[in-house]
Amino acid sequence: MKSIYLDHNATTPVDPRVLEAMLPYFKETFGNSASRNHSFGWAAEEAVDKARGQVAKVIGAGSKEIVWTSGSTEGNNTAIQGVARMYADKGKHIITCTIEHKAVIDPCKFLETQGYEVTWLDSDPKGCISAEQVKEAMRDDTILVTLMFANNEIGTIHPIAEIGALCKERGVLFHTDATQAFGKVPIDVNEMGIDLLSLSAHKVYGPKGVGALYVRRKKPRVRLQPILHGGGHERGIRSGTLNVPGIVGCGAAAEIALAEMQTESVRTAQLRDRLWAGLSEHLTEISVNGDPQNRLPNTLNVSFLYVEGESLMMGFGDIAVSSGSACTSASLEPSYVLKGLGLGDDLAHSSIRFSLGRFTTEQEIDHTIKRVVAAVNHLRDMSPLYEMAQAGIDLSKVVWQSH
Q: What is the pLDDT of residues 230-241, one digit of tens each?
A: 888 888 789 888
- pLDDT value of position 227: 87
- CA nearest 310: which of 299, 324, 320, 289? 324
pLDDT 10s digit of each residue in the chain, 403 long?
Answer: 689 999 999 999 999 999 999 999 999 989 888 888 999 888 999 999 999 999 999 999 999 999 999 999 999 999 999 999 999 999 999 999 999 999 999 999 999 999 999 999 999 999 999 999 999 999 999 999 999 999 999 999 999 999 999 999 999 999 999 999 999 999 999 999 999 999 999 999 999 999 999 999 999 999 999 888 888 888 878 988 899 999 999 999 999 999 999 999 999 999 999 999 999 999 999 999 999 999 999 999 999 988 888 888 889 989 999 986 344 445 567 788 888 888 888 788 889 999 999 999 999 999 999 999 999 999 998 877 777 777 777 766 666 665 5
Establish how many alpha carbons lie within 13 A of residue 195's alpha carbon, considering only the half-sphere containing its beta carbon.
27
Please identify which of the residues 97, 108, 167, 327 carries the catalytic annotation: 327
d(CA 369, CA 149): 29
- CA nearest 301: which of 350, 354, 367? 354
* 304-327 tens-digit pLDDT: 988 888 888 889 989 999 986 344
- pLDDT value of position 95: 98
Cα angle vertex 197, ends 191, 198, to 5°? Answer: 150
The enclosing H or E element of 92 equals none
Please indicate whether residue 327 is annotated as part of the active site.
yes
- pLDDT value of position 307: 87
Q: In order of start, what are the domains of the chain with their CATH numbers?
A: 4-8+261-391 (3.90.1150.10), 16-257 (3.40.640.10)
The alpha carbons of the chain give a radius of gyration, in whole angstroms, of: 22
For the beta carbon of residue 189, count every other beta carbon within 10 angstroms: 23
Task: Locate all alpha helices (DSSP H) within 125-243, ordered by sequence.
Answer: 131-137, 160-170
